[in-house]
Amino acid sequence: MHWDRDTERPKCSDPHHAHQLFELHVHLTEVVLPSGARIVAASFDPQAPYAREREPDYGLYLDRRWAPPWPHEHVDWPDFGVPDDAAGVMDTLSSVLARSRGGQRVEIGCLGGHGRTGTALAGLAVLDGVPADRAVAWVREHYCPRAVETAVQEAFVLGHSS
């Protein structure tokens, strides 16, 4: 369970629960896939979620908190998990890749920019020709070492060979 401790009250009030504090760093990071396709990976910044030097032409968001003023869509994808409709998500990622290859500025984001966003980037890397068994490492090297947070997310990527 996540909350912005500066603007929200904790959702868990059990004094016996061991709460963990995670460092939050904001991503608005351009990732260049091996083919040269460019994707901007974003985390949700509650202070200024839509502040950009240049707005994207299209956004794919993996968390419903996103409601940007530019054209976008959402994918149902649980935090720390994987989507129920894996094939549908891979089709959507294929569309995102085609948009980028066609010259559009495309953005992908979730809440923290690591688990779901990292997994989506790894899926894009597979679609772009990175072997599935190397895609997570590729994303961690070219985007963020914290990308792809759970074993189930790693398995999701492995299940999608190029």
Go through the domains of the chain in sequence order and give each one's CATH number: 28-158 (3.90.190.10)
Cβ neighbours of 16 (radius 10 Å): 4
Distance between first and last Cα of the chain: 33
Under a CB-based contact definition with an 8 Å cutoff, are residues 72 and 59 in contact?
Answer: yes
Burial category of 24 from C-beta neighbours within 10 Å (exposed 0-12, middle 13-18, buried 19 and up): middle
Mean pLDDT of 48-70: 96
More confident residue, 3 or 131: 131
pTM: 0.85
Task: Tell whether the model's pLDDT for residue 144 goes beyond 80.
Answer: yes
Look at residue 26 in the predicted model and tell me its pLDDT.
83
Among 20-34, 120-134, 143-157, the minimum mean pLDDT is found in 20-34
Residues 72-106 pLDDT 10s: 999 999 999 999 999 999 999 999 999 999 999 99
Among 3-7, 46-50, 101-105, 144-148, the minimum mean pLDDT is found in 3-7
Position 1 confidence tier, pLDDT thresholds 50, 70, 90: very low
What is the rounded average pLDDT for all residues in the chain? 89
Tokens of 147: 């990308």
Residues across the chain: 162
Virtual torsion, Cα 121, 58, 26, 1, nearest 10 deg: -70
Task: Tell whether the model's pLDDT for residue 21 goes beyond 60.
Answer: no
Under a CB-based contact definition with an 8 Å cutoff, are residues 113 and 41 in contact?
Answer: yes
* 3-state SS, residue 54: coil
Helices vs. strands in the chain: H and E counts, helices first: 4, 5
